[in-house]
Amino acid sequence: MRLLFLAVLRRHTGNAVTAERVRDHLEAAGHVCILKDASDLESSSEIAKLIEAESLEAALALHLYRGGRLLQGHGIPFGIIFGGTDLNEDVNHGEKKKVMGKVLEEARFAVAFTESMKEMAQTQWPHARGKIYVQSQGIVTGPNSAFNWNTFLHQSGINQSADNLHIFLLVCGLRQVKDPLYLVDAFSEWHREEPNVYMVIVGPEVDPVFTREVGARVKSAAGVRLIREMPQGDLHAALKNCFAVVNSSVSEGMSAAILEAMDLEVPVLARNIPGNAAVVKHEVTGLLFSDPQEFVQLAKRLVSDPALEREIVANGREYVRARHSWQAERCTYQNLIRTLEGSIQD
């Protein structure tokens, strides 16, 4: 089957990574999957031309508003994958919410990453109750064996022995929804008390204006460093070597960095928002904080309590292996796409 797959493909965003992985699942089943950036296709007529030119038989969109609205009314069956900001933010805009409800009426299925996302969608659009499936993101990690942690620290401007350091890694594309500056002041204060703690923000540039703002703040912040971009294998190796992974986002669908940290047996400290709380169970698979001061309290506790660290790491690893299987994700998407195939034949 020839499929159109629409997603917002800004580099270094979770949606772009998810889109590549789902495309791989569909192509493994023998489908031709044409992945397009929804940001480049703003009109219905452009989609109609694309469908005709490529002889497309069905479609899939990642993000109910940005991708889904472009698929309405073309007469080909389609499915939706919720992105996160569609349910957490766009739903608060009356017109967008209305459009998304219409998209769900036409969609044959919708995929939510968590039960809480499914519940949010069903509350907003009760008519879609029977077509929303839950499929957690599948996680695979592959640390680069040639990665050198000491070189990474040196490049980060940290010139101390790795043995005595506690490095907290915050991984996010530099845009406001990820709020990478949320913890900077509190962390700097802690670093002044304990000079062996550092927070390294691994932040590829997504929003150029905001990136400059982050760079300027970090430059003057004691104990905080900024690294712009890393290949995935190096990033996974850095995650494996750090003391803990941090997430300070305002909104998340499902953070791949959190799940990758769990898979790599690294403790997680995450801001207590619905997307994170769906994955991180406080004091079981990680630690949840509600403000910067609580983050520092919990981070200090983690540093001083190796037994807590071991327990969180073991639980996190088991959770990811039980609930975020790459193979299970592949089966789900391949089965759902078969339902579109069936509707073509009907």
Q: What is the pLDDT of residue 57?
A: 95
Rounded to whole angstroms, the Cα distance separating 180 from 183 reads: 7
What is the reported pLDDT for 40? 87
Rounded Cα–Cα distance for residues 331 and 335 (Å): 6
Please give the domain boundaries of the chain with CATH numbers for all domains: 2-138+325-339 (3.40.50.2000), 149-323 (3.40.50.2000)
CB 58 within 8 A of CB 78: yes
Chunked into runs of 10 residues, the chain (346 residues) has average pLDDT values of 88 75 95 91 86 95 92 94 87 92 96 91 94 93 95 92 92 91 97 97 88 94 92 94 97 88 97 92 98 98 97 97 93 95 64
b/e 141-173 (16+ beta carbons within 10 angstroms → b):
bebbeebeeeebbeebebeeeeeebbbbbbbbb
In single-letter form, the type of residue at position 55 comes to S
CA neighbor of 143 nearest in space, from 230, 17, 239, 227? 239
pLDDT value of residue 206: 82
pLDDT at residue 85, rounded to an integer: 80
Tokens of 177: 């929804």
Say if residues 34 and 5 touch (Cβ distance below 8 Å). Answer: yes
pLDDT at 188: 97
